[in-house]
Each structure stands twice: as structure tokens, then as C-alpha cells.
Amino acid sequence: MSDLLYGVDGHVATITLNRPERLNAISVPMLDALSRALVAADEDRAVRVIVLTGAGKGFCSGLDLKDLAAGKSIGGDNDAMPVRFDLRNAPPIVLHQVDKPTLCALNGAAAGYGMDLALGCDIRIASDKAKFVPGFAKRGVLPESGGTWLLPRLVGWAKACEIAFSGRTLAAAECLELGLVNKIVPQDLFEKEVRALADEIASNAPLAVQAIKRMMRLGLEDSFESNVHQVYLQLLPLFRTRDFQEGVKAFLENRAPKFEGR
């Protein structure tokens, strides 16, 4: 669909929210398209890194408020409460479960749902024009797409409460100070810097990178002992891969390795 673009260049898949005239507000069709794009990238053996970004001046202004007002979005039908919620294919859950590294290229403002989406990525590179707008409390709702789980883990309980309860806008510099973004890049160098980091990650052994991510994700809920055991079980099959043999051989030959993902 034209509102969401998907492309693969080398080992990097780029998913672009493409409604610049609406600051990339998320429509209902875009939710399904975004989940499908994430799954496609995760299943593509050629893809090693997923970049999520927005077209134009903003990253994502959140769920489309015009759809909400027209009763076409989440919670739109006030007279029909669902018997059960099935969110298995919702973008925040799919994003959390993909094994490929996810890099948010935060090109502009990320508000509401857009902020949750950005926080759900593994790494966030921000343009100096970027900002977070956690305005949920100002709209009478709550961070419905992972924010209540992600934010305290990223900045700690007290700071998360301050951010969420006040709803005030966080400029790029404050986001960096809080650890909400990894790096701030001038706008004219933004795309180059994002691609450089994506290529750097993609140059490593993809099966190992994916295993590292998987174990860190599971480790958020595991005990230390349980995580150590799971890591060991992940390590054994990696010893049998061509990439492990190539990594050792490249080290002994003092050259850059050429990984195949096998």
C-alpha cells in the first residue's frame, strides 16, 4: 500500500510510514501492513537489519485522530465491546518478537502511538529535529502499544512516571540525556549515519546477532540462572554454523569475515 513503503537494499530492509501530509498518522490499514512488513523482513534470509522510519518531516504523529473521531479506529465503536482481544498480529507485539535487529530512524516528531513504536525498536537514531510527544494523558488515554512496559525499563520508574503523567514534549537533547535515543545526528547527515550503523550491524554474523537479541529479550523476564542455561543451549548450534568457522578463520587470517547466515 502507498501509505507504507517496504524495500530491501543489500542486507537492510527499510519500512517507511508514508503519509507525510498527515505527519504519518497511523490508519487502520497501515497497522496490518506494518505487521506484515515486519514479518516479511524477519523471514527474509537476506535481511539482517530492519530500519523503521517516516516520510517527510515527522516520524509518526500517532493513531489517526480523524479515524478515531469517525469511529474507524481502535475503540471506535463505543457500543460494541469485544468479547476477547486478539493482539497477536498487532505491530507492537510483532515488533517485540522479531529476531532481526530493529533500528528506528527517528527523523522527526514521534507522538503517542508513534512514540511507543519508536521505543519498541532496539536502537533509536534521532535527527536533531526529532522529539517525543507522550501526550496520552492529555487525550484521556494511556500508552496502549507497549509504552507502559517499555518506558520504565528504559528510564526507570520515577522518570517514566514524570514523562507519562505530565505528557510534556521531550526534545532530542533531553531524549539523549534520558537514554531514550542512542545518538543525535544533524539532519543533513541523518540518512548517511543511519545507513552506516545498519551496515555495521549487518556485517556481523546474522545468526549470532539474532540469538543475542533473542536471549536479551527473554532475559528481561528470566532469572540469571535460567538465562545462562538458555544462552548455553543457543551457543551449541552456533558452534556448528559456517559463520562460526568463518569468524574463527577470519580472525586467524587477520581479515574481515564474510558471513553467509548459515
Q: Which of 79, 95, 44, 51 is nearest to 206 (CA)?
A: 44
Q: What is the pLDDT of residues 196-249, one digit of tens each?
A: 999 999 999 999 999 999 999 999 989 999 999 999 999 999 999 999 999 999
pLDDT, position 68: 61
Instruction: Provide the whole-model pTM.
Output: 0.90
| Cα 261 from chain centroid (whole Å) | 22
**Amino acid code (one letter) for 104:** C
Same domain, 57 and 166: yes
Same domain, 168 and 236: no
pLDDT, position 63: 86
Q: Residue 72: which residues within 8 A CB-CB, separation 6 or more?
A: 28
Same domain, 39 and 102: yes
pLDDT, position 142: 84
Same domain, 104 and 217: no
Does a structural domain hold residue 257?
no
pLDDT, position 83: 56
124: helix, strand or coil: strand
Same domain, 26 and 141: yes
Same domain, 116 and 220: no
**Amino acid code (one letter) for 233:** L
Give the CATH number, domain containing residue 37: 3.90.226.10
Asked if residues 211 and 177 have their Cβ atoms less than 8 Å apart, the reply is no
pLDDT, position 70: 58
Same domain, 80 and 171: yes
Of 202, 227, 242, the last residue of a domain is: 202
Does a structural domain hold residue 226?
yes
Does a structural domain hold residue 261?
no
pLDDT, position 140: 86
pLDDT, position 143: 84
Query: Facing residues of 103 across strands?
Result: 51, 123
- The phi, psi pair for 51, rounded to 5°, reads -105, 130
99-135 b/e with 16+ CB inside 10 Å = b?
bbbbbbbbbbbbbbbbbbbbbbbbbbbbbebbbbbbb
Same domain, 161 and 228: no
103: helix, strand or coil: strand
Same domain, 152 and 173: yes
β-bridge pairing 123-127 and 109-111: unpaired
Same domain, 170 and 232: no
Q: Is 139 exposed, middle or buried (0-12, 13-18, 19+ CB in 10 A)?
A: middle
The domain of 148 spans 4-202
Report, as ranges of residue numbers, the positions in the chain whose pLDDT lies below 50: 81
Q: How many CB atoms lie within 10 A of CB 258?
A: 10
Q: What is the pLDDT of residues 2-24, one digit of tens each?
A: 999 999 999 999 999 999 999 99
Does a structural domain hold residue 259?
no
Does a structural domain hold residue 216?
yes
Of 163, 184, 202, the last residue of a domain is: 202
Does a structural domain hold residue 260?
no
Give the CATH number, domain containing residue 222: 1.10.12
